[in-house]
Structure formats: structure tokens, C-alpha cells
Amino acid sequence: GFEAAKQYLVGYVVEKSLAMDNIFVIALIFSFFAVPPKYQHRVLFWGIIGALEMRGGMIFMGAGLILKYQWILIVFGGFLILTALKMALIKGNDDVSQNIAVRLCKKFFRVTEFYDGQKFFTKRTLKPTYSKNAAGAEVMDPAPVGSLSAAWAITPLFLSLILVEITDLVFAVDSIPAIFAITPDPFIVFTSNIFAILGLRALYFCLASLIQKFRFLKPALILILAFVGVKLLLLSVPPYLDVLGMNKADPIKIDTTVSLLVVVGALALATVLSVVIPSKPSETGDSGERNQGR
């Protein structure tokens, strides 16, 4: 009853806080592809639909692994701590054009540089090819038999959708183990994740233009990831200490209320510090320049 409600609340808040970083990346994608504001809701709508399916599968697969292999919690905990260290020590690459998904799409599919309303796919006229004849004059090559003058191509709107889906997949790899640190109940993990994701579109339109002003958000997310990682290790490592030649011990459980206070406290402190110590104009300017289109 009440304990399950607390676990749901902590899971929801953790997922919502990690979604903040997701919003920054989505804003970066929309800026790079110069997605018109009136079409952004379409990308986010289908992105959320895809995210619900992916996360549902990942959650129940993770629950099955935990049920069968308890030691997988050690892997989850270690992964979260490594992710926190990576966020703290390694600067992300803001160059969307170098994303492997974008390069693969441009390599194997026709990609147009122009929008066709809110369409993900459009027909574009094929460019004619030229070659030299026997006299050395340049002539247009004949079109292949049965070919049409236009072919289907991917629009930048669909490319942005692909990157939004990949972004959510990457963040899900972090956030889902974090929720399992709060509760092993797959129903609570699923519902807290799903309801947090359902509000992502509204959260994006509220915070997209403000997210860069929260300069202390990243340290707060690092703290939250490290905390839930340590919580998982304290819960899962003691029963396996005999493998290291030590005596087994009971799992060390951190109360759900403590987890809620740590998560909410980290976010509140990050918000207050961001308001009290705002970013310098030069910092926000440089960040804005990096987020502009091609």
C-alpha cells in the first residue's frame, strides 16, 4: 500500500529527472535539423509511442533476468556508477551529423534535405547522370528500364524521429536499472516509467528553451545515478561475498523515504543553485552556437 506508493513516487521522480537530460538532446536534434515548431509535436508523439514499446520490452526482460539471475543487479549497479563517472569525466559530442544512425541512413537510403510538410517520407525527382559519348560530348544517360522520374526519400523529419528514438533507448539503458534499484516490482517499474514518459512532450515544450539555464542539473543527475548505483550494490553484493572468500552478509537496504529525499533534494538544490548562480552570457552563447543547425 503506502510503501508501494512511495516506491512509485521515487521511480517517477527519478525517471522525470533523467528525462531532463533527454530534453536537452532532443532540443539539440531539433535545432540541428531545423525542425519547424509546428512539426515538432509529431516527432515527439511518435517518439513517445516507440519509447513506450521499447521500455515495456526492456522492463519485463530486465525483470525476468533479475528473477532468474539475482547477480544481474550487481551488473546494473556497476553500470549506473560507470555511467555517472562517464557523465562527470567525458564531454558529450554535440555534432549530430556524426551520429552513426544519420550516416547509415544517408549511406543506404535516399535522404532529402527539404521538408514536405509533416511527412516522414516524400518523393523526390531523381537527378540525371551524364557521361561522354564517342565524340567526347557530355550527354544525359538514359533512365533504367521501368524506372520512374521520382523515388521515395526520407525527410529530415524522419531522421529526427530516428535520433529521438535512439536517444530514448540510450537513456532507457540508464533509467530502467535505476528504477530497479528502487523496487523489484515490474508493475511499479513499468507504470512509473510509462507515466513519466507520457509527460515528456509537454515537459519538452515547457523547458526546451530553459534547460540550458539549469547549469547544475548535470551534477544532480550524476549524484542521482551514483546514489542508485550504490544502492543496488549494497542490496546485491553482500549475499555474494563468499565468492570473494568473505562471509556472506544480509543485503543492506536503503529506505524508500531516504531515496526520495536524496533524489528530490538533489534536484531542488540544483534548481536553487542554477537560479542563484546563473550561467555567464558567454557560456550560454557558446552552447547556443553549438546547437544551431548545419
Domain assignment of residue 104, yes or no: yes
Give pLDDT, residue 208: 66
Domain assignment of residue 128, yes or no: no
State the pairing for strand pair 121-125/130-132.
unpaired
pTM for the predicted model, two decimal places: 0.68
| 72 φ, ψ (degrees, to nearest 5) | -65, -20
Give pLDDT, residue 245: 54
Which residue segment(s) compose the domain that 48 sits in? 2-114+161-290
How far, in Å, CA of 237 to CA of 275, rounded? 39
CB 12 within 8 A of CB 188: no
Domain assignment of residue 208, yes or no: yes
Residue 146 has pLDDT above 50, yes or no: no
Domain assignment of residue 21, yes or no: yes
Question: Quick one: 134 exposed, middle or buried, by C-beta within 10 A (0-12, 13-18, 19+)?
Answer: exposed
Task: Indicate the number of domains in the chain.
Answer: 1
Domain assignment of residue 156, yes or no: no
For residues 89-118, average pLDDT? 73
For residues 82-98, average pLDDT? 72
Residue 239 has pLDDT above 70, yes or no: no
Domain assignment of residue 80, yes or no: yes
* pLDDT tens-place string over residues 243-262: 555 555 666 777 778 888 88
Give the three cell numbers for residue 243: 565468492
How far, in Å, CA of 99 to CA of 155, rounded? 17
Give pLDDT, residue 253: 77
How far, in Å, CA of 205 to CA of 27, rounded? 10
Domain assignment of residue 122, yes or no: no
Give pLDDT, residue 127: 59
Residue 225 has pLDDT above 80, yes or no: yes
Domain assignment of residue 126, yes or no: no
Closest CA to 181 of 235, 221, 239, 218: 235
